[in-house]
Amino acid sequence: MSKRLKVGVVGCGLVAQVMHLHYLRELSELFEIAAICDVSESVRAACAKTYGVTETFRSWEEMLRLPLDAVFVLSSGSHAPIAIAAAEAGMHVLVEKPMCFSVAEGHAMIVAAQKSSVTLMVAYNKRYDLAYLRLLKEREAQLDLRLIKVTTLESPIDPYIRQYPLHKPDDLSKDLIARFAADNRDRITAAIGETDELCRRAYHLVLLDSMVHEFNTIRGIMGEPDRLEFADIQEQSVTAVLRFGPAQCVITWVDLPGIARYQMEFAFYAPDQRLTLSFPSPFVRNLPTLLSIEGGEPVSGRAWRSEETTSFTESFKNELIHFHECATTGRAPTTSGEDALRDIALCGAIIEAHRTRVPRDSPTFWNASGGAA
């Protein structure tokens, strides 16, 4: 029988309430929600009541004094301080993306987990989507890949989440909010230096908050990019062009607030086959990811297209099952700290390429001193 892990949850915001707490309870044979921590008294009290948790804390330092097996770091801001402390206390750690704000922070997280021989995993749910795994098999057989297009159309979130009975904080002081904002600013400066507000905002709210998903997913499919050829940051969009061998990969994120229709597509174009993986909104449970496969005959003109629904199993749930396996068996996570830190390095490389207009070789590599390779 699998060991049931006693989990402490830090941060009871949107992703915790919509996904993680819900599936922790559904997977009660694998996990016990032993404690929750949130700076909002109203939120932690409401979540404690909903999920039957008796141990609640405002301070994560106090929570880590409990005999926990694992800690889920789901709070906003950098996850590094909590993750490092939990690892040093001998607890396995699952952190939501982004894992941290800088390469230096991420390296410290990895070292802490290694020293304590605990699991450090980053919650990139798309890597555990069964349609994504199906794409991997099709992609292996695809020959002469020539172009990859990754497109994200950001849309209003409220229509996707209003059906959930969410508990929202109404008791955070202005001083506390200001302190969190100041901490974020300091960490962003440590990561990318003193730069203009456009780059700072894009680094925090677009690259780290959203596009790390795209970067991690494409790296899971293609491996490490050989080169960052181009990067451009605008008020409402970010574009990066990567090179994977002979294939060019164009990644574009754009904010389109006038239509509540989120779209994220990964398209792979070869002469005899086209593959497109379309992810649904990450805030609606059990919506299927769709895989489109196109083929044809150049002489006759015949062409065909199939669209597959691989599964309705929620990738967030698969992710938690994987974390449990890694924590109880010692298996290395698919989305390990080492893997996720390459995404942080790429985010920094994109800022630098935008500012200098100079391409960058091996943009996902970093060194042990906490900087880019």
- The DSSP string of 133-187 is HHHHHHHHH--S--EEEEEEEE--SHHHHTTS---------HHHHHHHHHHHHHH
pTM: 0.96
Provide the token pair at 324: 């449990």
Q: Which of 186, 210, 217 is closest to 102 using CA atoms? A: 186
* 330 and 185, same domain (yes or no): no
Provide the token pair at 254: 């754009």
User: Alpha-carbon distance 198 to 355, whole Å?
Assistant: 11
Q: Is residue 242 part of a domain?
A: yes
Is residue 240 within 8 Å of residue 228, measured between CB atoms?
yes
* 307 and 195, same domain (yes or no): yes
Beta pairing class for 5-10 and 70-73: parallel
* 47 and 194, same domain (yes or no): no
* pLDDT tens string 111-154: 999 999 999 999 999 999 999 999 999 999 999 999 999 999 99
Q: Is residue 331 part of a domain?
A: yes
Please give the tally of structural domains in the chain. 2
* 48 and 114, same domain (yes or no): yes
* 255 and 141, same domain (yes or no): yes
* pLDDT tens string 279-317: 999 999 999 999 999 999 988 989 999 999 999 999 999
* Residue 319: band (very low, low, confident or very high) from pLDDT cuts 50, 70, 90: very high
Provide the token pair at 35: 């404690």
pLDDT score at 371: 59
User: Alpha-carbon distance 301 to 233, whole Å?
Assistant: 40
Q: Is residue 146 part of a domain?
A: yes
Q: Is residue 369 part of a domain?
A: no
User: Alpha-carbon distance 49 to 47, whole Å?
Assistant: 5
* pLDDT tens string 252-286: 999 999 999 999 999 999 999 999 999 999 999 99
Q: Is the alpha carbon torsion for 158, 284, 288, 265 positive or negative?
A: positive
Q: Is residue 217 part of a domain?
A: yes
* 83 and 100, same domain (yes or no): yes
Q: Is residue 370 part of a domain?
A: no
Q: Is residue 367 part of a domain?
A: no
* 136 and 36, same domain (yes or no): no
- The DSSP string of 204-217 is IIIIIIIIHHHHHH
Is residue 150 within 8 Å of residue 218, measured between CB atoms?
yes
Residue 245 pLDDT > 70: yes
Q: Provide the 10 A C-beta neighbour count for residue 298.
A: 9
- What CATH number is given to the structural domain containing 62? 3.40.50.720
* 81 and 156, same domain (yes or no): no
* 104 and 139, same domain (yes or no): no
* 133 and 119, same domain (yes or no): no
Is residue 152 within 8 Å of residue 252, measured between CB atoms?
yes
pLDDT score at 370: 55
* 188 and 138, same domain (yes or no): yes
- What CATH number is given to the structural domain containing 244? 3.30.360.10
How far is the CA of 114 from the CAs of 76, 100, 111, 352, 366, in angstroms? 24, 17, 5, 30, 17
Residue 368 pLDDT > 70: no
Is residue 47 within 8 Å of residue 128, measured between CB atoms?
no
* pLDDT tens string 205-225: 999 999 999 999 999 999 999
* 175 and 260, same domain (yes or no): yes
Is residue 128 within 8 Å of residue 315, measured between CB atoms?
yes
196 three-class SS? coil
Give residue 330's domain range: 5-126+318-335
Is residue 98 within 8 Å of residue 83, measured between CB atoms?
no
Beta strands, E only, 271-317: 273-279, 290-296, 303-309
